[in-house]
Structure 1
Amino acid sequence: MRKVKEHDERKNEIIDTAQKLFSTKGYGQCSVNEILTEIGIAKGTFYHYFKSKEEVLDAIIERTTEIIISRAEAAATVKNLSPLDKLMKIFLAIRIENEMDSALLEEMHKAENALMHQKSLRCVVTQLTPILVKVIEEGNKTGIFHAEFPKEYMQIFLASALTLLDEGIFQIEPTQQQIMFQALITLLSKMLNIESNLLLEKAALYWQQ
């Protein structure tokens, strides 16, 4: 049991150190040797856990996704919170810029890391959809929502929002981004079959947090 713990601790140590170095030096300017020196381990130890520097970056992204999903699950299970409020809290949880610094976000948006970026988006959509569906179904039962296709609607909304509001994909002005945000919320209100102004007011309140 202790060996398993030591294995996880060492792996996390490599990920933590790499994330710090990628943030301060830049992913492209940081070598595996610098990670080794910072931790004080041999090259063989590094390659026991990771095949390449790219794989470490992948692990950082996966861990960030796990944090986002964990927070979304927590928001979905808050007692005495309406389905609408749960929905807003979940959407706050998927703001990846809250968990990943600008240097790593910029790295993920580079053309050579397109597949990695796609993987992170696919992972979020796949894991977040069931959480949102439960909330939508709860809203349907209480009469707040009237969504005919909860799963499909959430897949469409997440894929659209995560792509269109991603500055690394669509470099749009803040004003235009705000308009896009309002359009997406209006689309969501139609999916849920509720008053758009109600959802816009609620979304604006949460988005300022």
Structure 2
Amino acid sequence: MAREIKRPEIRKNEIIDAAQKFFFQKGYEQTSIQDIIDALGIAKGTFYHYFFSKIDLLDQLIDRTTSEICSSLKPILNMDMNAIEKFNKFFQALTVVSMQNIDVFLVTFKVMFRDENTIIRVKMYRRMVDKNTPLFSSIIEQGIKEGVFNNPYPNDAAELLMQIGANLDETIGRLILHENETLKHLAKIMVQKIKLYLDAMERILGAPKDSLRVYILDDYEEMAKMFYKKLRDKEDV
């Protein structure tokens, strides 16, 4: 039987989609290139036409995922807003995405925090920092010009905030997945960590106190309830 010929971008994305499924189900280390080839019914040469190795495939999967997230946030840079409004809008948009795609995020949390997927998690965070830093830096530069931020190193400040944010995400992710975590404690710790991050943001940027509202705390309390309920499959939380 003749093999189906597909456009390069379609075939490449099919391979990435299959890899994502295997990486999530089996873990990166436990997935072989042969697993992916067999699942798609393609020749080994087809795989190596698009990817040099499994690590190259992982890099391109992470790049595609982070690019999709960043693309959804870029329009905020061109909105008619001052820097603080843009900063708040940027982070609040991420919260909305999380709330709208809670089932996807739950699967991602479960997979990303497996020991065998440590390499995926580290690479994902690094790629997010690299891609979002220029966006943050642009907003910080605008804030410096407007006189609302007081930090002479916008790019370094943006990268530092992204790194702290990645650490916050990991802390919250581990809390959400902890089997013995109570809803009350989960919501309390999430809000506490977010308040600490807000304070760090304002100090690093030299922004007026209480000017940043990048997280809507009521939304995060509601998100904690949603995560808790779905993970534990309870009707009443």
Q: TM-score range by the shorter chain?
A: 0.7 to 0.9
Q: 1:204 aligns with which of 212, 216, 230?
A: 216
Give the conservation status (yes or no) of the 8 Å contact 1:106–1:168. Answer: no
Query: Could you say which residue in structure 2 is the equivalent of 1:39?
Result: 40
Determine the C-alpha separation between the residues in 2 that align with 1:190 and 1:168. 22
Residue 113 (structure 2) pairs with residue 109 (structure 1): yes
Give the conservation status (yes or no) of the 8 Å contact 2:92–2:215. Answer: no
Give the conservation status (yes or no) of the 8 Å contact 1:76–1:87. Answer: no
* Residue type of the alignment partner of 1:10: R
Aligned residues: CA RMSD: 3.5
Give the conservation status (yes or no) of the 8 Å contact 1:165–1:181. Answer: no
Alpha-carbon shift at residue 147 of structure 1 (Å): 2.6
Q: 1:147 to 1:83 in 2, by over 3 A?
A: same
Alpha-carbon shift at residue 149 of structure 1 (Å): 2.7
- SS at the partner of 1:140? helix
Query: Could you say which residue in structure 2 is the equivalent of 1:127?
Result: 131
Higher relative contact order (CA 8 A, sep 6+): 2
Q: 2:187 aligns with which of 174, 177, 182?
A: 174
Structure 2 residues without counterparts, runs of 5 or longer: 1-5, 177-185, 224-237
Q: Across the two proteins, how many residue pairs are aligned to each other? A: 201
Query: Could you say which residue in structure 1 is the equivalent of 2:232?
Result: none
Provide the identity percentage: 31
Structure 1 residues without counterparts, runs of 5 or longer: none
Alpha-carbon shift at residue 19 of structure 1 (Å): 3.1
In the TM superposition, 1:158-197 aligns within 5 A as 158-167=162-171, 170-171=174-175, 173-197=186-210
Alpha-carbon shift at residue 163 of structure 1 (Å): 1.0
Q: 1:176 to 1:18 in 2, by over 3 A?
A: same
* Residue type of the alignment partner of 2:47: F
Alpha-carbon shift at residue 120 of structure 1 (Å): 2.0
Residue 154 (structure 2) pairs with residue 150 (structure 1): yes
Alpha-carbon shift at residue 21 of structure 1 (Å): 5.6
Query: Could you say which residue in structure 2 is the equivalent of 1:27?
Result: 26
Alpha-carbon shift at residue 38 of structure 1 (Å): 4.7
Query: Could you say which residue in structure 2 is the equivalent of 1:76?
Result: 77
Determine the C-alpha separation between the residues in 1 that align with 2:10 and 2:34. 20
- SS at the partner of 1:199? coil
Determine the C-alpha separation between the residues in 2 that align with 1:32 and 1:152. 38
